[in-house]
Chains A and B, each alone.
Chain A
Amino acid sequence: MTVTAAMFYLFAVLTVGSAVLVVTTRNVVYAAFSLMLTLCSVACLYVMLHADFLAATQVIIYVGGILVLVLFGVMMTSGKLDMKLRMERGRLIPGSLVGLILLALLIRIIYQSPWQVQDTNMLESTTKSTTQSIGESILGQYLLPFEIVSVILLVALIGAVLISRKEVKEIEES
């Protein structure tokens, strides 16, 4: 077994295993930290796909940003600091139905995509950069979608600030 294959299996097992833990654990904080492992392993898989820029941004945005906010929310909101999750039986059937549909869709996409399989050494890949091509396509070919996404994110940001400020005012009045 080559190094690349060994590492792929390691990260694949880590990704799937921690993702299962995220869903099955009853402790919200455990779920959040398992999610950290999932996101980091996915970043490692990106590295193995030679998508180094994507891997680093994955860690910066999801682990360093969103996950910290999730943990912050969990700690601020639950009074006992260890809110337990309970699954409601009634939602089992619709939930699994949606899951199965998504799985079918994903399998369909996986089998229909033309995968370019290339045998390259992982250690050599670090000399080529994807940053430049990503930058050029974002500010060239995909400029309009990029700008639209930016505006949408800005609107969401302002909206979030507006909502949180409103709540503070209500508390002050009462």
Chain B
Amino acid sequence: MELLSSLIFMLVIAAALLGFVMLLALILVLAERKVSAYMQDRVGPRRVGPFGSLQTIADAIKLLLKEDIISLQADRKLFILAPYLVFVSSFAVFAAIPFGRNLIASDINIGILYIMAISSVVVLGIIMAGWASNSKWALLGAMRSAAQMVSYEIPLALSILSVIMLVGSLRMQDIVGAQSGGLFSAQNRWILLDNPFTFLAFFIYFISALSEVNRTPFDLPEAESELVAGFHTEYSGMRFALFFLAEYANMFAVSAIAVTLFLGGWSGILPGYTFLNGVPGFVIKVSVLVFVIMWLRWTLPRLRVDQLMSVCWKYLIPIAFFNLIGVGVWILIFD
């Protein structure tokens, strides 16, 4: 009986989160198309529904009805498994993201560490997809993706570490609580504005996160002009849709983590005012970051693969290490 009730409890929470992620992807895909359209002086989708708002739903139905093609030379088992692995690990990150005071699926005491652990599994899913497709585009894309994600995980982890040092806890709600003062107060400011080193850490985090989710200017794993579509070249229909869903879920997740770590999470912008407090404030802050990610995609050209590696190993990692020491010294002197 106990087993059944806890199982139902867990399933209800998971289903609610899954519904949220699905809805999120629908909105973000439409937003991406609209943003790209306005950046290129077009109007974007406008036929389906008012202002094209139902376009993604039409696309999703189309993808569902498409034939599911598995090429004969592909490794059937791993080919089928890979999209689920990628989606599940992107989805599992949402369990530890605090959306509001009580709106967190599981406020575990190693929250941020859990997020990093789970999101590192995505790489394996991508490699699995690339290898199982038995296609050179897919394999090359997967190789690039793995090299890129493993490299950029280091500056990402170092920038997160500086926040952890400051807060002294890995729990997501503690990190939000340490920034309850909002933007301008002397105590408990946003970690972004706490000291110059954390200000820098935010940008290191954001650049590395862009790379972790394979977005432009770091979208080499799926560079259309050279690799067709990268690791998901051979996928069609619903399996492709799962990768697509995971990509947009990831984009939201890294922005949400950035907001939680550096921009106050769900706590309000000004102390004492309920304006922009809780969930709406959180959603607005995350949306701004998501917009910046889309903005970058339609503005910047793609890096070359050697530039990608030198940005990480020659610039970001040394800066991140320097930064980490800086935060430590700052804590020692001023706190």
Identify which of residues 88-120 in chain B touch chain A, using a CB-to-CB cut-off of 8 Å: 106-110, 113-114, 116-118, 120
**Which of the four size classes fits the interface of chain A?**
20 to 34
With A1-B3, A56-B114 already in contact, the answer to whether A68 and B139 are too (CB < 8 A) is no
Determine the residue in chain A with the shortest Cβ distance to B121: A63
Instruction: Report the stretch among B122-130, B224-232, B251-259 that lies at the interface.
Output: B122-130
A72 close to B (CB within 8 Å): yes
Chain B: residues with Cβ within 8 Å of the partner, total of 32
Determine the residue in chain B with the shortest Cβ distance to A7: B3
Determine the residue in chain B with the shortest Cβ distance to A129: B109
Determine the residue in chain A with the shortest Cβ distance to B126: A68
Q: Is the CB of B109 within 8 A of A60?
A: no
Q: Is the CB of A64 within 8 A of B110?
A: no
B143 close to A (CB within 8 Å): yes
A33 close to B (CB within 8 Å): yes
For the residues of B in contact with A, the DSSP-based class is: helix
Q: Is the CB of A53 within 8 A of B146?
A: no
B37 close to A (CB within 8 Å): no
B41: A residues at CB distance < 8 A: none
A3, A69, A82: the one contacting B2 at CB < 8 Å is A3
A131: B residues at CB distance < 8 A: 109-110, 113, 170
With A128-B109, A129-B109 already in contact, the answer to whether A59 and B120 are too (CB < 8 A) is yes
Q: Mark B144-179, 1 if CB is under 8 A from A, else 0.
A: 001100100100000000000000001100000000
Q: Is the CB of A81 within 8 A of B139?
A: yes
A1: B residues at CB distance < 8 A: 3
Further pairs besides A64-B121, A82-B75: 4, Cβ < 8 Å = A56-B110, A59-B120, A60-B113, A67-B124
**B interface residue numbers (CB < 8 A to A):** 2-3, 6-7, 75, 78, 106-110, 113-114, 116-118, 120-121, 123-124, 127-128, 131, 134, 139, 143, 146-147, 150, 153, 170-171
**A interface residue numbers (CB < 8 A to B):** 1-3, 6, 29-30, 33, 36, 40, 43, 52-53, 55-57, 59-60, 63-65, 67-69, 71-72, 75, 81-82, 123, 126-129, 131
